[in-house]
Amino acid sequence: MTTTLAPWPAELGLRRLFLKDMIVDAHIGVFPHEEGVSQKVRINVSFGVDDRRDLVEGADDLSRTVSYEHVVLLVRRIVAEGHIRLVETLAERIAAGVMQEKRVRVVRVKIEKLEVFAELDSVGVEIERWSGTAA
């Protein structure tokens, strides 16, 4: 499945980093048959960081950006914490975790449950959160 993200306004000068189609087994759901079992969940995270010129012109150094690995580990940790009732809650927790990084100005999180209805590829939610300093 292709994930298409609407662009952020160019005047913000953001570089988009992303995790695409991360599949995890999550304990998630509100119904009794979802308790105690895992479900396949697809997670997409896209985040905008300041598009600083020194990344292009300066040192090629990880400390000048946000590590993808940090976000992957964050998602794994949140999913492993235990049963979450709503996909919305999972999305908000991931967004809040990503926003802890001071260089992130905006984050989009899309959560899809993959095995809910036989006739559907997925069901889910997509959220977008901005830092307090963003336009």
Cα 10 to its chain centre, rounded Å, is 21
Residue ranges of domains in the chain: 13-130
Q: What CATH topology corresponds to 13-130?
A: GTP Cyclohydrolase I, domain 2 (3.30.1130)
Instruction: Name which of 128, 131, 132 is nearest 7 in CA terms.
Output: 128
Q: Is 21 left (phi over 0), alpha (psi -120 to 50) or beta?
A: left
Q: What pLDDT does 124 receive?
A: 96
Write out the chain's pLDDT in tens, 135 residues: 555 556 666 656 788 899 999 999 999 999 999 999 999 999 999 999 887 655 556 667 777 788 999 999 999 999 999 999 999 999 999 999 999 998 899 999 999 999 889 898 899 999 999 997 544
Degrees (nearest 5) of the Cα angle 13, 17, 21?
Answer: 145
**In the prediction, which pLDDT does 60 show?**
72
